[in-house]
Amino acid sequence: MLGYGAENFTFARLRPVGRVTADVSLSVRYGGVLPAGWNTDPMDLDPAVAAHLQRNDAGLVPAIAQQHDTGEVLMLGWMDDEALARTLATGRATYWSRSRGEYWTKGETSGHRQWVRRVSLDCDGDTLLLQVEQEGPACHTGTRTCFDDGRVWETDA
């Protein structure tokens, strides 16, 4: 349980069934008809969770993906309520692409999936932490993390 003053809520423990995704864009690949068992309906985020999210002007919250067992920071994506609801419902990390203006489930085309083990909200409610099991590289450039090549500063102190 996460405590916020007198209010408490829990994120549901979710187990993906058959590793299906709820990404509507897949219907294009199947001629407008998805295989049986695929859910493309809009998903609602638990109101208790939604009430604690502090969104930016575009309605988005940054979501940091971290390897669950090593603590390695993998990438930063953006989520709105729908992306978070899809993530919680499927157990697969789903983000909002600001450049393409659409939802994307990590690994859907590349095979580099993120299986979500835990989702946490920071103390201000303005950042999500997704602890995931990463399959393959997390970065679209093919590196393990999006931070492999971008060191700005380091000290030995």
Extents of the domains making up the chain: 43-150
Q: Name the class of domain 43-150.
A: alpha beta
Cα(13)–Cα(105) distance, integer angstroms: 19
Whole-angstrom distance, CA of residue 9 vs CA of residue 111: 33
* Cβ–Cβ < 8 Å for 88, 11: yes
Q: What is the pLDDT of residue 149?
A: 79
Residue closest to 21 by CA, chosen among 105, 83, 88: 105
Identify the pLDDT of residue 20. Answer: 35
- The model carries a pTM of 0.73
**Below-70 pLDDT ranges, the chain:** 1-42
Looking at residue 113, what is its pLDDT?
96
What pLDDT is recorded for position 36?
Answer: 47
How far apart CA 145 and CA 127 sit, in angstroms, is: 19
Cα of first residue to Cα of last residue in the chain, in angstroms, is 37
pLDDT at residue 45, rounded to an integer: 86
